[in-house]
Amino acid sequence: MEFWKGPMGELSFNADPSPWFKGRRVFVTGHTGFTGAWLCHWLLTAGAQVHGYALAPPTDQDLNLFANSGLNDRMVSVIGDIRDRNALNAAMAEAEPEVVFHLAAQALVRLSTRKPEETYETNVIGTLNVLRAAQAAGAAYAVNITSDKAYENNEWVWGYRENDRLGGHDIYSSSKSCADILARAFWLSFCQEDGAMRLATCRAGNVIGGGDWAEDRLVADIARAYRRGETVVIRRPEAVRPWQHILECVRGYLRAATALADGRLNGGAVNFGPGPENAAPVGELTRRMFAAFGDGKLKLEICPESSTVHEANLLRLDITRARVELGWSPVLDFAETVDMTARFYKSLIVAPGRARDLLEADIAAYSAKLGT
């Protein structure tokens, strides 16, 4: 195990944060979604008592991870909307959590332009509802998940730091900026007394991994095309993204919670992103996914963007704070990220009933790369 002297004293580097959660009561919003399912499974593997609150899994996702991995039988799952304050308060009070992870959101850019009111109600007012409910329930630590798209993107070649300007060219991005600002204001307004809830915001983006079936997401589109024998359509093959495996950012969220507990993080934000070697054009990721699937029947069509929806060409995060203050850095390179993702999808498509086994196998393999 590597130790080094950070600005706040000796720190273990890239340690597995999950053992800290053994026996702890944890509340996760958005647990029926892609990231939520991975997070809940890792927490359960660590021995946490997990409660979830989220919308029901989409009816058009027959391979939804939550539904197919048996999470409903291993945790307390409440189906509800974070805009419903009474239902949320009741679920939080019943759970009496020590730690709250807030993931629930309307997370699709294109959908946000069709449903701007719902996007803001969910991502902004919903976040306020979660923070108020967590505080009322006596939670000690709350981790608010926003997005790298919360930054005002100037298409810089260098990564955005946590103190860079927030903004947003589209409804989704601006709603996440608002949620980020709201969380900071909530902490300043209500969390300053001794013993008050500790709060941090995590920003990540371009997260890929097995089991994401959301619309208008490249890897999910490729997996659907592989399953159905359809053509993959991409809009902007030259756009560069810093691709990150789901387990990297989930470990970051777990580490953020433990950092709140050990006093290294409170009231601020922290970026979790891949190294510069994982930044690649959309076209390159598509080619590598095709190769990883190993199916010559997959076909590609490039359809230039005709929509007025703004999409960034380049957006990177500076992860210096995560490295220096939390001892977190990515451990998967681009090839490993793509291979793990494709392998999971291929196995899930063939045998949906093995979803839990696939989650356990990937978490175990990933954890083996970490220290203790």
The upper half-sphere exposure of residue 148, i.e. CA atoms within 13 Å in the direction of its Cβ, equals: 27
The answer to whether residue 107 scores a pLDDT higher than 90 is: no
pLDDT digits (tens, 9 = 90+) for 244-271: 999 999 999 999 999 999 999 999 999 9
The pLDDT score that the predictor gives to residue 44 is 98
Confidence of residue 6 (pLDDT cuts 50, 70, 90): very low
pLDDT digits (tens, 9 = 90+) for 197-249: 999 999 998 899 999 998 888 999 999 999 998 899 888 888 888 899 999 99
For the chain, give every domain's residue range: 12-367
The pLDDT score that the predictor gives to residue 299 is 83
Q: Are residues 154 and 210 in contact, defined by beta-carbon separation less than 8 angstroms? A: no
CATH superfamily of 12-367: NAD(P)-binding Rossmann-like Domain (3.40.50.720)
0.85 cut: is pTM over it? yes
- Burial, 19: exposed, middle or buried (Cβ in 10 Å; 0-12, 13-18, 19+)? exposed
Residue type, 138: G
Helices (H), the chain: 34-46, 65-68, 85-95, 109-114, 116-120, 126-136, 171-190, 218-228, 246-262, 282-293, 320-326, 334-350, 355-367
134 CB neighbour count, 10 Å cutoff: 28
The C-alpha atoms of residue 363 and residue 365 are separated, in whole angstroms, by: 6
The pLDDT score that the predictor gives to residue 3 is 45
The answer to whether residue 7 scores a pLDDT higher than 60 is: no
Those residues with Cβ within 8 angstroms of residue 152's Cβ, 6 or more apart along the chain or in another chain:
164, 165, 166, 167, 168, 177
Confidence of residue 349 (pLDDT cuts 50, 70, 90): very high
The C-alpha atoms of residue 53 and residue 250 are separated, in whole angstroms, by: 18
Mean pLDDT of 156-175: 86
The pLDDT score that the predictor gives to residue 311 is 57
pLDDT digits (tens, 9 = 90+) for 32-72: 999 999 999 999 999 999 999 999 998 888 999 999 999 99
Q: Does residue 27 or residue 228 have the better pLDDT?
A: 27
User: Which tokens hold the place of 308?
Assistant: 């007025």
| Per-residue exposure over 244-277, b if at least 16 CB sit within 10 Å of its own CB, e if not | bbbbbbbbbbbbbbbbbbeebbbbebbbbbbeee
The pLDDT score that the predictor gives to residue 201 is 97
The pLDDT score that the predictor gives to residue 277 is 87
The pLDDT score that the predictor gives to residue 241 is 87
Average pLDDT, the chain: 91
Those residues with Cβ within 8 angstroms of residue 86's Cβ, 6 or more apart along the chain or in another chain:
none
The C-alpha atoms of residue 258 and residue 262 are separated, in whole angstroms, by: 6
Confidence of residue 1 (pLDDT cuts 50, 70, 90): very low
